[in-house]
């Protein structure tokens, strides 16, 4: 490669290198560089010079740090060296990817005229700005998920948010409450978030809030005018040729339209494309769907395990049976946008059910496998980024359509019928692409060999010249050998000297007069002749013409495909859904999942339900123990689940949560039978130590999450509380758990179905006072000292926490266990000393005892009131809450 670099464009590169080496930095090249750089503030500029991309000044330092490129210097400016770093042009893709992944925005500046034809400095321009959100690179954009660019702005007390995936053409916008916004951003996980600069400047609080909201997104501040209502609305109308924004549902939401407009302008400018494939920004509303707040998504391990990684087993990984990236992405979208309306859910169920019959799902998958990522191929096509392989792949996707429609013709489900009738085999597109492009075209569209013979008469003719040219050269070689009598004479070619005759040193005396010497090598000399030069003129010209023509024909094909983009996109959407549904049907059939019945209201009942993920990952030989559950607003609103650690409480709660979610998604569920009343939201409060990594007090987080539930749960919610009050002292925790349960039971008009798992077995007493609370526990069998968890849920409370038994299983030393038993016995028999020091201390040795008594006397100056109050209290009959109150009162007396 190294040689051809200088061979190819010797003039441009060395001239400019020289220019940049001059001591005065105001060389024409650096002036051009500065001028382009000024138009792209905040971007790292990849400046094309011949076969290299170079970065200067600060950009060079960034490139050195991020890309690990050697930092050199070129010339000086103001007495200082000008730093420079560069890499060869063919390595653009990986370098771009690394830069963007590190959070930078890169402006790619190309030579926009042929250096050989340029007079003076080659003209250059930025052809693309690559950022996290405006990016087509497969090294950055994962096939398994959408890559969202989002734009956020204030809309009075609410927020406006627009988001788009430029690789697929999806585009949405809406206005949301702060709470819904959080929920959306957590689901969308945008790669890049655009905000008006004024927002971060003027509002201290909001600025901070924003950074947090953005999560892992790159935050890009745009001039405020990007978000101007009127200008944005005008731009949108023009872009979509619409008289008003009514059709998009954005007429009454000026800020949502402004965000959409800002996003469109930014993406269009960065990608240097009219973005004809970007659908109009459809209005997005959360009403009518099943909501999952960020904590719940985390706790139920939908797309990430609690440890935070995406590779571990999650609901997503279990559900993902898709055979195309499109189906995989749609599944993710289904997980964060869950319908709350029965018609929609049942339509999906019907489609899954129909594909379960006669193994249609499996057969459909076989057909869909070759479709690949039609959706993103269309995105590349529409933004001028498709190559020959992309278009062949696109045709491959179309080719399956007729057989697929035929296969599904018999399926009874209305949703399947909709999806298949919406498919268009586009025979013209298929035949034109396959007849124009060779079967396996190269990656590049500028290096030829991609257009079939017979497509263009001109191309055929040029190819003919080239092919016969080879014959001519062979013939010429033979002729010259004969004429000169030099048997080893060879016709050769290189980029510097073109065609030439090479003659070895030993034959030099026989070289004819008419040969003109060009170059001397160690053992040979190189010559040209008039005839050879004339041929070269014609042949090289033909070669160049062929490349130009092939590229032009390819562009014409791509352009001709332009008007078909919407139909191709519709196909992609429908094939994606068919893929997803086929996968869900295969899963349901293989795992014997059942079709849940969704009811508008009434009882939630699951028979023999299993946890969809744990069921899959249990070690060999272990079987998941299924359980039933019944909850109803009228009778069994709250199920209080007690049992020792490791018994399976959390798993049971999550099972109910996940089955409810799956049912709303239109999936079958891991149970023998399921009836589920439609829900508006699933709330969870799980685990006491998940947020340590975020550096927040676990107890504070626990209480925040609980407060959120108490404030937002409705009659139609499902609430899963796992261990509330664990993060504080026993009495505090117990009393909070107690009061929270009462509150959930008594919230007027808001009887959320609730599962509450707790190790506070004292709470079982609540069953006496709360009429819609039921106790349940997890069966524990005791064999002598050993205990065994059967994982079976039984009615009634658990009176024993088995903590010491679990400790024994874990290998705590015998002495410790024995002593713990002793302390427990004392605690349970309410053995407290008169001075409130529990008598838990070991019986001290006599000498020690003396010292201790004198010591205690210092602190325990007995207060008369306190003693009396304590003596008078009926500890035997007290509820834990009353005990708590007493404690507080007693401490008050001390002060
Ligand atoms: P708890 O919340 O009561 O401490 P978990 O729900 O965390 O208990 O369960 C502990 C472990 O027991 C889980 O990791 C799981 O592997 C196993 N387990 C729980 N429920 C079941 C079940 N129904 N069938 C089989 N194994 C189970
Ligand atoms: Mg647990």
Q: Name the β-bridge partners of 832.
A: 838
Above 50 in pLDDT, residue 835?
no
Q: What mean pLDDT value characterizes the chain?
A: 87
Above 50 in pLDDT, residue 860?
no
Q: Using an 8 Å Cβ cutoff, are 756 and 721 in contact?
A: yes
User: Measured in angstroms, how far is the CA atom of residue 797 from the centroid of ligand 1?
Assistant: 18
Cβ neighbours of residue 672 closer than 8 Å, sequence gap 6 or more: 594, 607, 608, 626
**Gap between the Cα atoms of 446 and 435, Å rounded:** 19
Mean per-residue pLDDT for 573-577? Answer: 98
User: Is 471 in a helix, a strand, or coil?
Assistant: helix
Q: Using an 8 Å Cβ cutoff, are 447 and 438 in contact?
A: no
Q: Which element (helix H / strand E) includes 331?
A: helix 325-336
Cβ neighbours of residue 769 closer than 8 Å, sequence gap 6 or more: 742
Mean per-residue pLDDT for 873-879? Answer: 78
**Gap between the Cα atoms of 477 and 469, Å rounded:** 12
- Beta strands 673-677 and 597-599: pairing type? parallel
Complete DSSP assignment for 874-889: -TTT--HHHHHHHHHH
User: Measured in angstroms, how far is the CA atom of residue 186 from the centroid of ligand 2?
Assistant: 25
- pLDDT at position 676 is 97
User: Measured in angstroms, how far is the CA atom of residue 447 from the centroid of ligand 1?
Assistant: 60
More confident residue, 400 or 448: 400
More confident residue, 147 or 115: 147
> What 8-state DSSP symbol labels residue 446?
S
> What 8-state DSSP symbol labels residue 627?
E
Ligand 1 atom at shortest distance from the alpha carbon of 653: 6
Q: Using an 8 Å Cβ cutoff, are 252 and 226 in contact?
A: no
- Tell me how far apart the terminal alpha carbons of the chain are, to the nearest angstrom: 85
More confident residue, 73 or 320: 320
Which tokens go with 150? 């989002």
Nearest ligand (C-alpha, residue 724): 2
Mean per-residue pLDDT for 611-635? Answer: 93
State the pLDDT confidence band at 667, using cuts at 50, 70 and 90.
very high
User: Measured in angstroms, how far is the CA atom of residue 183 from the centroid of ligand 1?
Assistant: 29
Sign of the Cα torsion 431, 437, 438, 441 reads negative
Above 50 in pLDDT, residue 141?
yes
Mean per-residue pLDDT for 765-781? Answer: 91
Instruction: Tell me which residue of 37, 171, 58, 168 sits closest to 109, measured CA to CA.
Output: 37
Nearest CA to ligand 1 atom 19: 648
**Gap between the Cα atoms of 163 and 165, Å rounded:** 7
User: Measured in angstroms, how far is the CA atom of residue 649 from the centroid of ligand 2?
Assistant: 5
Instruction: Tell me which residue of 874, 660, 638, 885 sits closest to 775, measured CA to CA.
Output: 638
CA distances from 379 to 386, 704, 793 (A): 8, 43, 52
**Gap between the Cα atoms of 455 and 122, Å rounded:** 34
Q: Using an 8 Å Cβ cutoff, are 723 and 711 in contact?
A: no
User: Measured in angstroms, how far is the CA atom of residue 582 from the centroid of ligand 2?
Assistant: 35
Above 70 in pLDDT, residue 654?
yes
Cα angle value 550/553/556 (rounded, 5°): 150
Mean per-residue pLDDT for 224-228? Answer: 95
Ligand 1 atom at shortest distance from the alpha carbon of 792: 23
Longest dimension (CA), the chain: 133
- pLDDT at position 230 is 95
Q: Using an 8 Å Cβ cutoff, are 46 and 55 in contact?
A: yes
State the pLDDT confidence band at 893, using cuts at 50, 70 and 90.
confident
Above 70 in pLDDT, residue 432?
yes
State the pLDDT confidence band at 833, using cuts at 50, 70 and 90.
very low
Mean per-residue pLDDT for 425-441? Answer: 97
State the pLDDT confidence band at 454, using cuts at 50, 70 and 90.
very high
Q: Name the β-bridge partners of 160.
A: 153, 175
Nearest ligand (C-alpha, residue 622): 1
Q: Using an 8 Å Cβ cutoff, are 103 and 140 in contact?
A: no
Residue 140: count of CB within 10 angstroms of its CB = 19
More confident residue, 725 or 225: 225
Ligand 1 atom at shortest distance from the alpha carbon of 654: 6
Q: Using an 8 Å Cβ cutoff, are 608 and 672 in contact?
A: yes
**Gap between the Cα atoms of 368 and 265, Å rounded:** 36
User: Measured in angstroms, how far is the CA atom of residue 498 from the centroid of ligand 1?
Assistant: 76
Proportion of the chain above pLDDT 90, given as a percent: 61
Q: What share of the chain is helix, strand, coil (3-state, %, to 5)?
A: 50, 20, 30
Above 70 in pLDDT, residue 830?
no
- pLDDT at position 201 is 62
Q: What string of H, E and C letters represents the secondary structure of 779-819? A: EEEEECCEEEEEEEEEECCCCCCCHHHHHHHHCCCHHHHHH
**Burial of 769 per CB tally in 10 Å (0-12, 13-18, 19+):** exposed
Cα angle value 289/294/299 (rounded, 5°): 105
User: Measured in angstroms, how far is the CA atom of residue 297 from the centroid of ligand 2?
Assistant: 17
**Gap between the Cα atoms of 735 and 201, Å rounded:** 45
Nearest ligand (C-alpha, residue 791): 1
- pLDDT at position 696 is 56
Q: Which element (helix H / strand E) includes 151?
A: strand 149-155
Mean per-residue pLDDT for 276-298? Answer: 91
- Beta strands 753-758 and 638-642: pairing type? parallel
Pocket test for ligand 1, best of 614, 685, 726 (most atoms within 8 A of CB): 614
Ligand 1 atom at shortest distance from the alpha carbon of 618: 16
Instruction: Tell me which residue of 782, 451, 520 sits closest to 647, measured CA to CA.
Output: 782
Instruction: Tell me which residue of 840, 375, 321, 285 sits closest to 589, measured CA to CA.
Output: 321
Pocket test for ligand 1, best of 313, 614, 616, 648 (most atoms within 8 A of CB): 648
- pLDDT at position 801 is 66
As for ligand 1, residues whose beta carbon falls within 6 Å of it are 614, 624-625, 643, 645-651, 791
- pLDDT at position 203 is 54
Cα angle value 703/706/712 (rounded, 5°): 140
Produce one character per residue of 586-622: b if its CB has 16 or more CB atoms within 10 Å, e if not: bbbbeeebbbbebeeeebbbbeebbbbbbbeeeeeee
CA 272, distance to chain mean position in Å, is 25
Q: How do residues 365-422 score in pLDDT, each as one tens digit? A: 999 999 999 999 999 999 999 999 999 999 999 999 999 999 998 788 999 999 999 9
Pocket test for ligand 1, best of 616, 646, 685, 759 (most atoms within 8 A of CB): 646
Q: Which residue has the tokens 């050195």?
A: 64
Q: What string of H, E and C letters represents the secondary structure of 651-715? A: HHHHHHHHHHHHHHHCCCECCCEEEEECCCEEEEECCCCHHHHHCCCHHHHHHHHHHHHHHHCCC
Produce one character per residue of 209-244: b if its CB has 16 or more CB atoms within 10 Å, e if not: ebeebbeebbbbbbeeebbbeeebbebbbebbeeee
State the pLDDT confidence band at 804, using cuts at 50, 70 and 90.
confident
Above 50 in pLDDT, residue 608?
yes
**Gap between the Cα atoms of 159 and 444, Å rounded:** 44
Q: How do residues 492-523 score in pLDDT, each as one tens digit? A: 988 788 899 999 999 999 999 999 999 898 89
User: Measured in angstroms, how far is the CA atom of residue 339 from the centroid of ligand 1?
Assistant: 30
Alpha-carbon torsion angle 490, 494, 500, 506, nearest 10 = -50
Above 90 in pLDDT, residue 550?
yes
Q: Name the β-bridge partners of 70.
A: none
Nearest ligand (C-alpha, residue 641): 1
Ligand 1 atom at shortest distance from the alpha carbon of 757: 2
Nearest ligand (C-alpha, residue 644): 1
- pLDDT at position 319 is 97
- pLDDT at position 202 is 55
Most confident of 152-156, 259-263, 466-470, 704-708: 259-263
Alpha-carbon torsion angle 34, 40, 45, 51, nearest 10 = -80
Q: Using an 8 Å Cβ cutoff, are 584 and 321 in contact?
A: yes
User: Is 187 in a helix, a strand, or coil?
Assistant: helix
Ligand 1 atom at shortest distance from the alpha carbon of 610: 23
Single pTM value for the model:
0.82
Nearest CA to ligand 1 atom 23: 625
State the pLDDT confidence band at 724, using cuts at 50, 70 and 90.
confident
Residue 205: count of CB within 10 angstroms of its CB = 7
User: Is 85 in a helix, a strand, or coil?
Assistant: strand
Q: How do residues 788-800 score in pLDDT, each as one tens digit? A: 888 999 888 876 6
Sign of the Cα torsion 673, 675, 679, 681 reads negative
Nearest CA to ligand 1 atom 18: 648
**Gap between the Cα atoms of 762 and 746, Å rounded:** 20
**Gap between the Cα atoms of 364 and 611, Å rounded:** 28
User: Measured in angstroms, how far is the CA atom of residue 626 from the centroid of ligand 1?
Assistant: 11
Above 50 in pLDDT, residue 735?
yes
- pLDDT at position 208 is 67
Ligand 1 atom at shortest distance from the alpha carbon of 627: 23
- pLDDT at position 205 is 63
Instruction: Tell me which residue of 447, 788, 818 sits closest to 647, measured CA to CA.
Output: 788
CA 239, distance to chain mean position in Å, is 28
More confident residue, 289 or 813: 289
User: Measured in angstroms, how far is the CA atom of residue 651 from the centroid of ligand 1?
Assistant: 5
Which tokens go with 657? 């949560």
State the pLDDT confidence band at 697, using cuts at 50, 70 and 90.
low
Angle between helices 565-590 and 325-336 (to 10 degrees): 80
More confident residue, 308 or 152: 152
């Amino acid at each position: 490669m190294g040689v051809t670099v200088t061979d190819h464009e010797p003039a441009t590169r060395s001239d400019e290198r020289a220019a940049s080496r001059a001591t005065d930095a105001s060389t024409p090249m650096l002036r051009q560089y500065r001028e382009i750089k000024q138009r792209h503030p905040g971007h790292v500029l990849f400046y094309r010079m011949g076969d290299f991309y170079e970065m200067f000044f600060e950009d060079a330092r960034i490139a050195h740090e991020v890309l690990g490129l050697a930092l050199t210097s070129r010339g000086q400016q103001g007495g200082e060296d000008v730093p420079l770093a560069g890499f060869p042009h063919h390595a653009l893709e990986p370098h771009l990817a690394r830069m963007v992944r590190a959070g930078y925005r890169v402006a790619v500046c190309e030579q926009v005229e042929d250096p050989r034809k340029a007079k003076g400095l080659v003209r250059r321009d930025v052809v693309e700005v690559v950022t996290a959100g405006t990016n087509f690179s497969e090294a950055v954009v994962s096939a398994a998920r959408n890559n969202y660019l989002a734009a956020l702005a204030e809309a009075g007390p609410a927020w406006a948010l627009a988001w788009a995936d430029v690789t697929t053409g999806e585009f949405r916008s809406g206005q949301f409450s702060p709470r819904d916004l959080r929920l959306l951003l957590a689901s969308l996980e945008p790669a890049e978030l655009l905000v008006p600069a004024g927002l971060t400047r003027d509002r201290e609080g909001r600025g901070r809030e924003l950074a947090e909201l953005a999560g892992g997104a790159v935050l890009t501040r745009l001039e405020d005018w990007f978000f101007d209502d009127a200008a944005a609305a005008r731009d949108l109308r023009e872009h979509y040729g619409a008289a008003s924004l009514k059709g998009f549902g954005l007429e009454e939401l000026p800020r949502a339209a402004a965000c959409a407009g800002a996003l469109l302008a930014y993406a269009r400018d960065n990608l240097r494309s009219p973005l004809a494939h970007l659908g109009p920004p459809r209005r997005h509303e959360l009403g009518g769907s099943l909501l999952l707040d960020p904590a719940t998504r985390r706790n139920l391990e939908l797309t990430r395990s609690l440890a935070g990684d995406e590779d571990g087993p999650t609901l997503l990984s279990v559900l993902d049976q898709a055979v195309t990236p499109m189906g995989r992405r749609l599944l993710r979208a289904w997980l964060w946008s869950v319908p709350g309306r029965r018609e929609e859910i049942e339509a999906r169920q019907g489609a899954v059910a129909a594909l379960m019959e006669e193994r249609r799902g499996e057969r459909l998958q076989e057909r869909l496998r070759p479709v690949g990522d039609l959706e993103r191929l269309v995105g590349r096509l529409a933004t001028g980024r498709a190559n020959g392989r992309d278009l062949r792949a696109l045709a491959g996707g179309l080719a399956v359509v007729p057989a697929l429609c035929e296969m599904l013709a018999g399926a009874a489900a209305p949703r399947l019928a909709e999806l298949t009738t919406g498919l268009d085999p586009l025979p013209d597109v298929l035949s034109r692409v396959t007849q124009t492009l060779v079967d396996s075209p190269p990656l590049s569209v500028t290096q030829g060999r991609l257009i079939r013979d017979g497509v263009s008469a001109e191309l055929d003719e040029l190819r003919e010249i080239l092919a016969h040219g080879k014959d001519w050269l062979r013939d010429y070689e033979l002729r010259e050998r004969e004429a000169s009598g030099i048997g080893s004479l060879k016709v050769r070619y290189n980029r510097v000297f073109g065609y030439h005759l090479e003659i070895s040193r030993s034959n030099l005396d026989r070289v004819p007069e008419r040969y003109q010497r060009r170059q001397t090598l160690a053992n040979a000399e190189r010559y040209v002749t008039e005839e050879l030069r004339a041929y070269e003129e014609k042949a090289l010209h033909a070669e160049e013409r062929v490349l130009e023509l092939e590229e032009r024909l390819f562009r014409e094909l791509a352009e001709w495909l332009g008007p078909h983009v919407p139909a191709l996109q519709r196909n992609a959407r429908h094939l994606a859904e068919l893929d997803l549904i086929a996968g869900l049907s295969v899963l349901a059939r293989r795992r014997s999942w059942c079709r849940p019945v969704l009811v508008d209201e009434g009882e939630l009942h699951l028979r023999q339900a299993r946890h969809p993920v744990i069921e899959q990952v249990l070690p060999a030989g272990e079987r998941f123990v299924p359980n039933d559950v019944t909850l109803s607003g009228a009778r069994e609103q709250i199920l209080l689940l007690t049992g020792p650690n490791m018994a399976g409480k959390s798993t049971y709660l999550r099972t109910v949560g996940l089955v409810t979610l799956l049912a709303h998604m239109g999936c079958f569920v891991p149970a023998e039978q399921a009836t589920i009343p439609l829900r508006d939201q699933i709330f969870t409060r799980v685990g006491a130590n998940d947020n340590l990594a975020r550096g927040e007090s676990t107890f504070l987080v626990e209480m925040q999450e609980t407060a959120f539930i108490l404030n937002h749960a409705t009659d139609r919610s499902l609430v899963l509380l796992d261990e509330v009050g664990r993060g504080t002292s026993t009495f505090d925790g117990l009393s909070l758990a107690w009061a929270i349960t009462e509150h959930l039971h008594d919230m007027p008009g808001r009887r959320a179905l609730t599962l509450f798992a707790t190790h506070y077995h004292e709470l079982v007493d609540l069953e006496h006072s709360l009429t819609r609370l039921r106790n349940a526990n997890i069966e524990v069998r005791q064999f002598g000292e050993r205990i065994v968890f059967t994982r079976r849920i039984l009615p009634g409370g658990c009176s024993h926490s088995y903590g010491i038994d679990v400790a024994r299983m874990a290998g705590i030393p015998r002495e410790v266990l024995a002593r713990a038993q002793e302390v427990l016995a004392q605690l349970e028999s309410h053995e407290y000393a008169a001075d409130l020091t529990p008598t838990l201390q070991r019986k001290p040795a006599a000498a020690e005892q003396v010292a201790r008594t004198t010591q205690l006397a210092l602190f325990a100056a007995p207060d008369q009131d306190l003693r009396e109050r304590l003596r008078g209290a009926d500890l035997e009959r007290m509820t834990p809450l009353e005990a708590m109150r007493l404690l507080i009162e007693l401490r008050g007396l001390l002060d």
